[in-house]
Amino acid sequence: MPHQKKDTFRVVTRGANGEIRIRDYDKEEDLLKRHLQIGIDDCSTDLELRGLPVFRGLIGPMPEGNSIIRYESPEVFETLTKDWGVTKAPRRSRPRTRSRTHAQR
């Protein structure tokens, strides 16, 4: 499967009434018009994110799927991180087999 370039910039914030607000930008330039760049990412483990802008008041860049570059407000980041940490995968139990000695009793 060919590697898809990340080409959508997504900003996730929380509205005044508490709802999650998502705004997508097709071009980095459009994002730069609305947010103040304070640096560039130089340490992401996702190499495609290195060199992308870092903005005042937003956490990111972070990958979302194959083609989205995501930024979040600190409040959204904290809430989603807490939710993610609380959500546990259902425990899988191993199939139990009776030991041979137990089954012969």
In angstroms, the CA 67 to CA 53 distance is 16
The parent domain of residue 68 ranges over 8-86
Does position 32 have pLDDT exceeding 80, yes or no?
yes
H helices of 5-93, in order, are 28-34, 74-86
Q: Is 101 part of any domain?
A: no
pLDDT of residue 103: 54
Q: Is 102 part of any domain?
A: no
Q: Is 66 part of any domain?
A: yes
Among 65, 23, 72, 27, CA closest to 46: 65
Q: Per the structure, how many domains does the chain have?
A: 1
Bridging pattern class, strands 59-64 and 20-25: unpaired
Compute CA distances 48 → 3, 89, 103, whole Å.
11, 29, 57
pTM: 0.74
Percentage of the residues of the chain whose pLDDT score is greater than 90: 57
Q: Is 46 part of any domain?
A: yes
CB-side neighbour CA atoms (13 Å) of 67: 10
Percentage of the residues of the chain whose pLDDT score is greater than 70: 75
